[in-house]
Structures are given as structure tokens and as C-alpha cells.
Amino acid sequence: MQQRLQQQQTWKVVVRVLIVLLIIVAMAGSVLLGALTQSYGLEPAASTSLAAPSSASLAPSTSLRPDMRPQDRIDGRSASEYRSSTDDIPDVQAQFAGLSTSDGRVLFERDADVAVPMASTTKMMTAIVALESTPLDTMMKVTLGAANTPGTEAGLEEGMMVSLHDLLYCLLVPSGNDAAVVIAENLSGYESRFVELMNEKAALLGMSSTHYADSSGLSDEDHYSTVRDYLKLAQYCMKNPVFREVVGTRHKELTIDGVLFEFESTSQLWDVLDGAEVTGIKTGFIEESGYCFVGSAVKNGIELYSVTFRGTDGIERFEDAAELLEWGFRHYRTIELVNPYQLVGTVALTSWIDKTVSAFAPSAVRVQVFDLNGPIAQEVSLSDIEGSVVQGQECGSIIWLQRGEVLATSPVVVSESVGAPGFFDGIGIGWSRFWGGFFGDAPHAVGSIALKSVVEVPAAAPATLPDQARAA
């Protein structure tokens, strides 16, 4: 039995030695094969490994990087300044483009000051001039010339009587050139006179690079504007509730002189914009202008406006608008800087030895910030108070700055009332300070600041990869 065990142990040792030798031979063969491959320029066979691909192989190809151009600007600065920290740059194909907030802050621009024909986006000005000068129930007659206006039409016929209210839908939803001429002729007698009113309005709005030659946008001679001017026009027009209602309409049925009209908006922004409510505004196209679009949308209480001129494709202009708006909503958001329950700091009451009062902001401070501009500096200034203090008394201030620009300010107030020391309290305090002076004691308490010096802006939600189905 013992002999059999010894034989088994011997065989185990032999097997192990053979395995080690086989491994050594295999390694030597691998090294030799590698040397031969390198020497003779042979390509190794493709791997058949089923291992998961590396993170590098999953990374988006460079073809998916946004179409950033040297003239592109973000929040007034070259887009290249932001490229070093993010690839989330608007991927826009139009030759001229812009995105702004409702209060006029331009978040993105591409050649925004170059004057070009703007086609039927002209009708935005036609509508606002009419709205501000004429009651909505004013009836207007369709002339033969208006009914025969070339280009897109609402289908109005000579002799029809139409209210301005209904004409606005004919003008802005199906982009009726006939409706534009009806409005111009009825309000001013001749279209050319109405165009003078359009140019006067443009000047009042600060649209210094804009000139109108007709009411519909058919002309390309002496009829031009810029992206920047049209961002201004969008901001202004969308303050008018009737204009907002009309341009936010996708389908409309009207009965005019007993004839039923069914209109479909020329805008397709509804089909391509994700996660926001479309609020307008207007398409445009002639050969000289290319495809134009002024878009608007609201998300989380923020409204943004996009303008694209000289696009190359009818669908692409809406995708450009969606790209701009979705990018804007990712990075331009409302955040809370401070609330009235948040301790700002403490303030020393210098008439006492050991008393302080808490300091708070009197109300919440919320601002709209552009997160790509980085963190917000929070500068708190608190002042000690002598004598009595009353709850709500101002004791300091907070200033918030991003990239050196002031975002907001707020006073700081005390949270409670504290009286000044009485006569006998004063004697005791004076005595304590006298003796404390020999030991280097402070004459009163020291205030403090509880808030940090920087407010970090929450990171934006990651941008999704381009939706191939949407582009189809």
C-alpha cells in the first residue's frame, strides 16, 4: 500500500514538471513568433476574443463632434474658449444663427451681424405693426392684387371681408403672402406706405441693420436683416399675447365669408424638439435667403429664442432650432443662491461682551445662470452693531458674481431684537472690560460668516448623441 502511494506521488511530480515545460515552450514560441512578425512585417491574425470592447472603442467618433466654426461665439466669447472644457457645443448647419434669452442675453451666435434676406420671417413685423395700430375686429377687404400675390398663400379670394384677427392666422400659420398684402393695403392704402411703418418700427426696436421692402418677404433687393436684429424682434413680438397665441398655433380652422379654411403651420419644430413647449414662431424661404426660421420654446419657466438664416434644407432648419434650444435649456437654468432659512452668519453686538445675533437673507434669491461660465463667487459683508437691534434690521449684504459680472445682490438682516445694555449692565460690562484689558480679552464677541465663498453651479444633464431617426 505504501509503495503504491509513493508511485502516485512520483507520477504527480512528473505531470507537474511536464506542464511547466509545456508552458515554457509555449512562451518561447510566442516570443519567437513576435520577433519573426516584427522582422518580416507580418500582420498578426485578428483576435477572436469575446471580451467587452474598451471604453475607447465606445467613444463617439470625431465625425460626431459639433460643427464649430471660427466665427461662433458663446455668451459673447469665442466658442473655442469653451471647447477646452466641453464638447457640448451647438451643432448647427445654418450659415447664420443665434440663440437668446427672453431678456436679450445672446447665448450663441454665428455671424449674427451679417445682413441677409430674411424671407417670410418678415411677416413677424407685418403682424406686430398691425396689432399695435388696429383693433382685432377691424374688417378688411381682399383686393384682386392681394388675392393674386405670388408665393405661399392662405387662399383668400377677391372681395372677401376678413377681420384682422383672422388675417393674422392667415398670415402667420400658413404664411399667406396674400394676407400680408391685405393687411398692408387696408391699413395704409398702399403696401409701400405700410412698409414705411415697418421700417419705423424696426428703428424704434434698435434693429439698426434691418430694412424692409415689402410686407411678405418676397423681395430680396433692399430687403434684409441680421440674426441679432431678429432676436430683438422675437423678444419684442412675444410680449404681445395675441401674437403669442397665433404663432403658437399648429392647426387652425376659420370660417371666412362662409368658406371653411383649414390651416397647418409651416413650422415643424413640434416634431423635432424634445422636452420643451413650442411657442412659435415663423418660417421663411426664397431662393436668395435659403431656409430661414425663428423658433421659440419654454422649459421650466425659461423662454428661449432661436434664429437661423440661410439654411440648406427645409427640415434641417427645424433641427438646427431644436439643437440650439435644447442646448440652451441644458445650460441656462434657474438656481437658488440663498433662502431665508439659510444662516448667512452672525453679527456681534458691540455694546455687549458676549452677544451675537444670527443673520439671514430676508427672502430667497433665484437667478438664471449659464453653467458653462463656471462657479459663482459669493461675497458676504456683515457689520457689527452698536446699541440695540431690531429684528429685520439690515446688517450687511451679499453679492454674487460669475466671471466678474454681478448676477444678484441681497441685503442681510438680523433674526431677533436685542436691547442695548441698561445702566447697571453697562457698569458691569465696563468693569469686565477694564479687568479684561489686562489679560488681552476681546471687548466684545466676534461675528462670523457661515456661507461659502463659492456657489457651485449644478452640472448640466449630459447631451444625448444625435438622434439618427430624427434626422431621417
Interatomic CA distance for residues 466 and 431, integer angstroms: 76
Which residues does the annotation mark as catalytic?
120, 123, 175
Interatomic CA distance for residues 288 and 150, integer angstroms: 16
Residues whose CB is less than 8 angstroms from the CB of residue 389 and which lie 6 or more positions away in sequence, other chains included: 349, 357, 395, 414, 416, 417, 418
Residues whose CB is less than 8 angstroms from the CB of residue 99 and which lie 6 or more positions away in sequence, other chains included: 90, 106, 107, 108, 109, 304, 305, 306, 307, 324, 325, 327, 328
